[in-house]
Amino acid sequence: MTLDSTQGVKDASPQDSNPLFQATGSLPPNPFPTNQTTPFWRTELHELNDHRSTTELPELCDVLIVGSGYSGASLAYHLVQSYGDEPLPSIVMLEARQACSGATSRNGGHVKPSPYFTFPQMAELYGVDAAVELAEFELLNVLAVKDLVEKEQIACDYQLTRACDAMLVQSHADQVTAAYKKMQASGVSCIRQVQYTGPRDAEQISGVKGALCCFTFPAAHLWPYKLVMHLLSLVVAKGVNLQTTTPVTSVSKDPESEQFWVVETPRGKIKAKKIVYATNGYTGYIAPQYSEKIIPIRGICSRIVCPGPAPHLPNTYSVRIGHKASDYLIPRADGSIVVGGAKPYLLHDPELWYNVVDDTKIVEPAREHFEGYMQKHFRGWENSGAYTDRVWSGIQAYTTDLVPHVGEVPEKPGQFIMGGFNGHGMPNILLTAKALASMVKEGKPFEEVGLPRVFKTTKERLEDERNLISR
Ligand SMILES: Cc1cc2nc3c(=O)[nH]c(=O)nc-3n(C[C@H](O)[C@H](O)[C@H](O)COP(=O)(O)OP(=O)(O)OC[C@H]3O[C@@H](n4cnc5c(N)ncnc54)[C@H](O)[C@@H]3O)c2cc1C
């Protein structure tokens, strides 16, 4: 298996090989390589892409948000919203590379909740009530994003739709069907959103060749970079100081004042009263207690273009060839398809994906995986001429106990985190950020902000030595 760089334009960054980071714990060196692969979503750059609100960094601020992806941007948005007409505290956002250049602009654009598929595992790990909370929270996010897009008139191609999971392997289909029926029998609320189709009609309903059964449920798709850049433009207009290409290299206690944390960057330091880590797979570099709990994981995505007419795809899809090996895809109104996954080309060799921060490369055979994908898997696409236009990689953040870390960092008063969305940030981040904003602003306890209980970052979780990310 070889690694090779992808085609197409590269994102240039002034931050050439970055010697500032020493690997912490087991993390690889240099978290921010230049020449990232260019995802489709970053082919139309926003005017704030390289923005710096001021030429110099401010010396002090009330709230410092590290990271300008979906987490950082929605946290800033909700924080600003919560002040309404009151004067805003000083808020600074530092971003290591360009605005929204991490996982958010490299993902599949799929806002896909998980009302049944991950339920058995979550129920086994955390109990049925906690598993229901997780599923319901993701379903709520689908509509919360719609409400936000409508309220702020965000041109990000949001489409409310249904996701369709098609199962192609008999033993796996049997296992998932049995779990679904068990959920139905137990009457858990989230299963009401799910429609099951059995073997007789699965191919017809899903349009996926060889489907043995399929499940549909509410979902959405959108242009993630456009959503986030719109949020950033709203908060920058309200006075949030955004500084791109400014990596945070360390955070320490201020020796002069109990009130502040000292945040170091290559452009100087800032003293901040409160810090929010919205740093995804890179969190452990500056918050070392997370270095073995939030693991950077490489993901691969592609865009398939169809030159001629092809059957309309009414849903978003997952084509599942086993419990872990699945691809997911969204149909776009421009006729193209964004497909992510290619896991058969990754999973056999952890070195290709586990603890990887390099998004300058794709795993070369993955391109073959996407080539002819629609013709192979979808009815009526055989003569479509669909071809792979672009393949890119991105860094996701998985947690060793499979649920995000959110809330005040244990034993670090004034430091907060939202991260580790396990490849599933789009149906979680918006409402997580809203809840965290009220913790940051009002000091509300985690238990009062309406988040799934298992999201809470705790000392016990940081000391838990299990690693449930299967390698
Ligand atoms: C290929 C791929 C496909 C995916 N597909 C989907 C999907 O279809 N649906 C879904 O729900 N999820 C998907 N995900 C996961 C989803 O993209 C993430 O859960 C989500 O984008 C995380 O958002 P974030 O803001 O927390 O992280 P990011 O978008 O990664 O933002 C973190 C930001 O922090 C910055 N940063 C980090 N460290 C520092 C530092 N020290 N100083 C300054 N800045 C720093 C980074 O540069 C980055 O811009 C996918 C991910 C990938 C990589």
Residues 227-282 pLDDT 10s: 999 999 999 999 999 999 999 999 999 999 999 999 999 999 999 999 999 999 99
pLDDT of residue 421: 98
Q: Whose CA is nearest to atom 9 of ligand 1?
A: 110
The pairing of strands 60-66 and 268-277 is parallel
Residues 278-308 pLDDT 10s: 999 999 999 999 999 999 999 999 999 999 8
Q: How far apart are CA 370 and CA 392, in angstroms?
A: 12
Domain boundaries, the chain: 48-106+225-293+401-463, 161-218+296-395
Structure tokens at 456: 């809470």
Going by C-alpha positions, the residue among 441, 416, 433, 462 that lies closest to residue 66 is 416
Supply the DSSP symbol for 242. Answer: E
Residue linked to tokens 């739709």 = 161
Domain range 161-218+296-395, its CATH number among 3.90.550.10, 3.30.9.10, 3.40.50.2000, 3.75.10.10: 3.30.9.10
**Best mutation site among 280, 297, 318 for ligand 1, i.e. most ligand atoms within 8 A of its Cβ?**
280
Q: Flag whether pLDDT at 36 surpasses 90.
A: no
Q: How many CB atoms lie within 10 A of CB 453?
A: 14
Ligand 1 center–CA 310 separation, angstroms: 32
Domain range 48-106+225-293+401-463, its CATH number among 3.40.50.261, 3.50.50.60, 3.40.50.300, 3.40.50.620: 3.50.50.60
E strand or H helix at 293:
none
Beta bridge partner(s), residue 361: 5
Q: How far apart are CA 336 and CA 388, in angstroms?
A: 10
pLDDT of residue 152: 98
How confident is the prediction for the chain on average, in pLDDT? 93
Which 3 state secondary structure label does DSSP give 325?
Answer: coil
Residue linked to tokens 């960094």 = 57
Sign of the CA dihedral running 47, 83, 419, 345: negative
* Ligand 1 pocket, CB under 6 A: 66-72, 94-97, 101-104, 106-110, 247-248, 278-280, 282, 285-286, 299-301, 328, 340, 394-396, 419, 421, 423-427, 429
**Average pLDDT of the segment spanning 447-465:** 98
Q: Specify whether the CB–CB gap between 390 and 40 falls below 8 A.
A: yes
pLDDT of residue 17: 38
Which 3 state secondary structure label does DSSP give 338?
Answer: strand
The beta-carbon contacts of 460-466 under 8 Å, at least 24 apart in sequence, are: 461/293, 461/401, 461/405, 462/289, 462/290, 462/293, 462/410, 464/400, 464/401, 466/400, 466/401
What is the 3 state secondary structure string of 201-225?
CHHHHHCECCCCEEEEEEEEECCHH
Give first-to-last CA distance, the chain, whole Å: 17
Q: Specify whether the CB–CB gap between 212 and 177 falls below 8 A.
A: no
Helices 119-126, 128-152: crossing angle, 10 deg rounding = 120
Q: Which atom of ligand 1 is nearest to the CA of 297?
A: 53
Beta-carbon contacts of residue 238 (< 8 Å; ≥ 6 apart): 80, 88
E strand or H helix at 173:
helix 170-186
Q: Specify whether the CB–CB gap between 225 and 301 falls below 8 A.
A: no
Ligand 1 center–CA 423 separation, angstroms: 9
